[in-house]
Amino acid sequence: MDTITIPILLLMSLATAIATAGGVWFVTQKRVRDLEVRTDRHDQKFDQIITAIGDLRADMTAGLNGLRTDMDTKIDGLRTEINDVKVELAKVQGSNMALNEKFDLFLQGRLIPAAVQSPSIVAA
């Protein structure tokens, strides 16, 4: 049987290569784990941001709906007031027309003013 001799340098080179490969593997695995942890943190922050945006949107929607309700109520109140003013204006216009007609009749001599009693006669 022939013996195979492996030079020491070759064994040392092989041992160094294995050690280097193991070290590279270890460092690579550690970096992968670190990246996974960072990714998880980013995912958590992203979820928090999405939740905050959802809450903000809900608050804004509720606030806008409240403002819309208040605005509608005030508009309805203003419409009622405007209608009341229109009614009063129509009454004043009607009274003005009646007074104008009476004044025209008075100017034509067809309307004689009513006699006014003095306050002392009314009081007695």
Radius of gyration over every alpha carbon of the chain, rounded to an integer in angstroms: 50
Please report whether residue 114 resides in a domain: no
**Interatomic CA distance for residues 44 and 31, integer angstroms:** 20
Task: Give the domain range for residue 83.
Answer: 10-109
Please report whether residue 5 resides in a domain: no
Give tens-digit pLDDT for 61-87: 999 999 999 999 999 999 999 999 999
**Interatomic CA distance for residues 124 and 113, integer angstroms:** 23
Please report whether residue 119 resides in a domain: no
Instruction: Determine contact, residues 111/102, Cβ cutoff 8 Å.
Output: yes
Please report whether residue 96 resides in a domain: yes
* Verdict on whether the full-model pTM lies above 0.85: no
Give tens-digit pLDDT for 98-115: 999 888 888 888 877 667
Give the count of domains, the chain.
1
Question: What is the mean pLDDT of the segment spanning 1-23?
Answer: 73
Please report whether residue 67 resides in a domain: yes
Percentage of residues in the chain having pLDDT higher than 70: 84
Tokens of 33: 């784990």
Q: Work out the mean pLDDT of the chain and round it to a whole number.
A: 85
Give the pLDDT band of residue 26 (cuts 50, 70, 90).
confident
Please report whether residue 123 resides in a domain: no
Please report whether residue 4 resides in a domain: no
Please report, as a single letter, which amino acid is at residue 102. K
Please report whether residue 47 resides in a domain: yes
